[in-house]
Structure 1
Amino acid sequence: MPSPLPHNRLLHLQFSSSVNARPCSSPLLFPDKAEKFFCAEGVSPRVRRLPTRLAWCSIDWDQLCLLHPLGSGGFGSVYKAIYHGTTVAVKQVKKSSKNSLASRQSFWAELNVAHLDHNNVVRLVAASTCAPASQDTLGTIIMEYVGNSTLHHVIYGTDCKTEKSKDDGLGSGHVSLSISEALGYSCDIVAGLIFLHSQTIVHLDLKPANVFITEQNICKLGDFGCSQKLQDLESSSPLLSQQGGTYTHRAPELLKGERVTPKADIYSFAITLWQMVTQQEPYLGERQYVLYSVVACNLRPSLTADVFKGSATGQQLETLIESCWKSDVAKRPSAELLLQNIHSLSLKV
């Protein structure tokens, strides 16, 4: 479940019409053109490049055509779409979710990265709470299209239903990651974290499924439904600040209800890197047992795999991972130091 946001971020179901007053404004709608919201694959409205200064705070519905679903979850669905002649991804947050408050909070959290532009972060193009009446959505977000392949697909070889697999019938297959490849992906991930942390944003749900891999083999951090701005945390209650995220990757201090810091993302990265080099699931067993053991018994994924014991590089990799998932937050490296350590290790591979 996404992390709840401070109550002062949830004043209204609709955004203010002032861009300065709220992070998003409600666009004018054209009901007579709502039937153009969906269109067939390959059909695009007025093919032209996306306006360079298009305001992210409103959606030009007449220029949006949903093509086909890319995936769905508890709070909504993601579609491949055409917007102003450019291929994009569209996330629609459902009104009919079992927890509508959490759905709204997830939508607001996604907007933490609005206006931001970095090579390793999925970019937001536009957003609005308004939509054609036929759409059961309380919020729509348009993002750059980065494909449908994630680090989870690469690690575990699951069928990611990429464009290639749809076109030629091929699945993603299971390909073992070398240490060199894992470190290369790690550089992208940590570079994205450095940028987010410089903007006082913590992701709080870093895991392989939320790391997208482009056709150029570049990692981009996505799915910011659990993210938080550090300045917002100062005015929220500790309990509200700690909820959400994926329990296998959630730092022990957050499980204990302690203060959120960027070091929580470093812990999550350690679990993600461990998955890359072992291609195993972090934990087996019941959720409550894992949660208790992580906090009370310092449980971490096993470091007995051959990849850590077979070479000096493997042993250094083990040391790096251990430094990132230490229980003592102060002893974990910053994202900047972590990137330096990964670069140094990469030179030895």
Structure 2
Amino acid sequence: MPSPIPIHRLLPKGFSPTLTLRPCSSPNRTPGKGPQFSFTKPHWALLRRSWYTVIWDELKLLDLLGSGGFGWVYRGTYYGQTVAIKKVRKCTKNRLAARQSFWAELNVAHLVHENIVKIVAATTSVPSDPAIEDSVGTIIMEYAGGTSLDHRIYNCAEPLDIRGCLQFSNDIMSGLAFLHSHHIVHLDLKPANVLITEAGRCKIGDFGCSHKLTTGSDLTPNVQWRHLAGTYTHRAPELLRGCNATLKADIYSFAITLWQMMSRDQPYSGDRQCVVYAVVAYNRRPSFSPIFNETPMGRQIRSIINNCWEVEPNDRPSAKELLESINCLAAQLWR
């Protein structure tokens, strides 16, 4: 199934659109051999980036990990290695949005970073299998574990302490700074889209709302379409107003996420439209609980959050600046 929008806008760097473009991307496979993938070795970035067909006989679905508006995510195996398999739903109310979500996932197909979920392969073709054929496309990804940051915040008896919040924030911002250095804005950063590995490290996933910006500036609006996807509780006010997206939209989303890690509460309650109106018209933000005022460290984190959810994108720090601030706080804590 071809992309409904120009392929050159959606394909990752290294994937060249041609008239003979095959329906599947696998940047980590050599012709005649099984896929040469290793989730911990940097040589991934050096492997040949071409389009090859997924070997469906080697792909096995094991169990459902979760589902959302655009599809399902399964744990499975590919050539014997545990992977996550995302199937983008075909039967949705907005088929164009579903196809855009699939192609947006491939914005990071050529990227390798320890804090980003790695894509192994992706295809728009499907075999005659009822478990797969109801999808727009299938994406095979690194299996980063079955626990999300959302689950860690709200479903674990032991709350995150400040040390844990800073460690997770460091991981998230490291991944985000890397994405922004490649001019990719995530546009749906939230705890549910951050996975925690067995080693306790965070990886950013779910790039179905992501966009590759056309210039390197994170201050100049350069997305030529109105981005309406994402999660309204974490969406920057300029996006809620219908403005163009910049990298600073992710900084706002991170502020809400860090607030959640610290407060262990939901950002807002009440009707969606009322919340959106309050954020846009009255600059409403989540309330700070006493934990932010009990210690000097808590007050510094509160200051960081306030800077990150400023109304004007230009007033928010960059991902690189924010990473440096978090590292400074961590250094103070670990002295």
TM-score category by the smaller chain? 0.7 to 0.9
Higher mean C-alpha displacement, 325-334 vs 204-213 = 325-334
Alpha-carbon distance in structure 2 between the residues aligned to 1:220 and 1:341 = 20
The 8 Å contact of residues 4 and 96 in structure 2, kept in 1 or not, is answered as: no
In the TM superposition, what is the alpha-carbon distance from 1:10 to its structure 2 partner? 9.4
Equivalent in the alignment of 1:154: 152
Matched, 1:71 2:69: no
Amino acid at match of 1:180: R
Aligned length: 306
Which residue of the other structure, out of 103, 126, 132, is the alignment partner of 1:131? 126
Write the mapping of 1:200-349 to structure 2, written as runs, cut at 5 A.
200-231=183-214, 237=224, 240-303=225-288, 305-349=289-333
Alpha-carbon distance in structure 2 between the residues aligned to 1:322 and 1:275 = 14
Alpha-carbon distance in structure 1 between the residues aligned to 2:73 and 2:114 = 21
1:348 alignment partner, SS class: helix
**TM-score, scaled relative to structure 1:** 0.81
Higher mean C-alpha displacement, 338-347 vs 277-286 = 338-347
The 8 Å contact of residues 88 and 143 in structure 1, kept in 2 or not, is answered as: yes
The 8 Å contact of residues 56 and 125 in structure 1, kept in 2 or not, is answered as: no
Shift of the 54–61 alpha-carbon distance from structure 1 to 2, 3 Å rule, reads: farther
Matched, 1:20 2:16: yes
Shift of the 288–63 alpha-carbon distance from structure 1 to 2, 3 Å rule, reads: same
1:70 alignment partner, SS class: strand
Equivalent in the alignment of 2:110: 115
Shift of the 27–105 alpha-carbon distance from structure 1 to 2, 3 Å rule, reads: closer
Alpha-carbon distance in structure 2 between the residues aligned to 1:297 and 1:149 = 35
Amino acid at match of 1:271: I
The 8 Å contact of residues 188 and 219 in structure 1, kept in 2 or not, is answered as: yes
Amino acid at match of 1:146: A
The 8 Å contact of residues 125 and 142 in structure 1, kept in 2 or not, is answered as: yes
Equivalent in the alignment of 1:31: none
Structure 1 unmatched ranges of 5 or more: 29-45, 158-172
Matched, 1:145 2:143: yes
In the TM superposition, what is the alpha-carbon distance from 1:219 to its structure 2 partner? 0.3
Query: What is the CA RMSD across the aligned residues, in angstroms?
Result: 2.8
In the TM superposition, what is the alpha-carbon distance from 1:347 to its structure 2 partner? 2.2
Amino acid at match of 1:91: K
The 8 Å contact of residues 254 and 260 in structure 1, kept in 2 or not, is answered as: yes
In the TM superposition, what is the alpha-carbon distance from 1:99 to its structure 2 partner? 1.8
Equivalent in the alignment of 2:162: 179
Alpha-carbon distance in structure 1 between the residues aligned to 2:222 and 2:301 = 38
Question: Could you list the per-position Cα deviations for residues 255-288 of structure 1 after superposition, in whole angstroms to 9, with x for gaps in the alignment?
Answer: 1122211110000000000000000000011101
Structure 2 unmatched ranges of 5 or more: 26-32, 39-43
Alpha-carbon distance in structure 2 between the residues aligned to 1:339 and 1:286 = 34
Which residue of the other structure, out of 39, 64, 84, is the alignment partner of 1:89? 84
Write the mapping of 1:53-64 to structure 2, written as runs, cut at 5 A.
53=47, 57-58=51-52, 59-64=54-59
Alpha-carbon distance in structure 2 between the residues aligned to 1:222 and 1:116 = 12
Write the mapping of 1:30-41 to structure 2, written as runs, cut at 5 A.
none
Alpha-carbon distance in structure 2 between the residues aligned to 1:296 and 1:48 = 51
2:87 alignment partner, SS class: strand
The 8 Å contact of residues 88 and 145 in structure 1, kept in 2 or not, is answered as: yes
In the TM superposition, what is the alpha-carbon distance from 1:110 to its structure 2 partner? 0.5
Question: Could you list the per-position Cα deviations for residues 117-155 of structure 1 after superposition, in whole angstroms to 9, with x for gaps in the alignment?
Answer: 000000000011011022222201000001110000000
Amino acid at match of 1:145: Y
Shift of the 56–310 alpha-carbon distance from structure 1 to 2, 3 Å rule, reads: farther
Question: Could you say which structure has the greater relative contact order, defined with CA pairs below 8 angstroms and 6 or more residues apart?
Answer: 1
In the TM superposition, what is the alpha-carbon distance from 1:107 to its structure 2 partner? 0.2
Alpha-carbon distance in structure 1 between the residues aligned to 2:86 and 2:264 = 29
The 8 Å contact of residues 50 and 86 in structure 1, kept in 2 or not, is answered as: no
Amino acid at match of 2:101: S
Alpha-carbon distance in structure 2 between the residues aligned to 1:24 and 1:258 = 34
Amino acid at match of 1:21: P
Q: Percent identity?
A: 50
Shift of the 250–236 alpha-carbon distance from structure 1 to 2, 3 Å rule, reads: closer
Shift of the 19–325 alpha-carbon distance from structure 1 to 2, 3 Å rule, reads: closer
Question: Could you list the per-position Cα deviations for residues 301-335 of structure 1 after superposition, in whole angstroms to 9, with x for gaps in the alignment?
Answer: 001x1211111111111111100000021111111
In the TM superposition, what is the alpha-carbon distance from 1:54 to its structure 2 partner? 7.3
Amino acid at match of 1:209: A
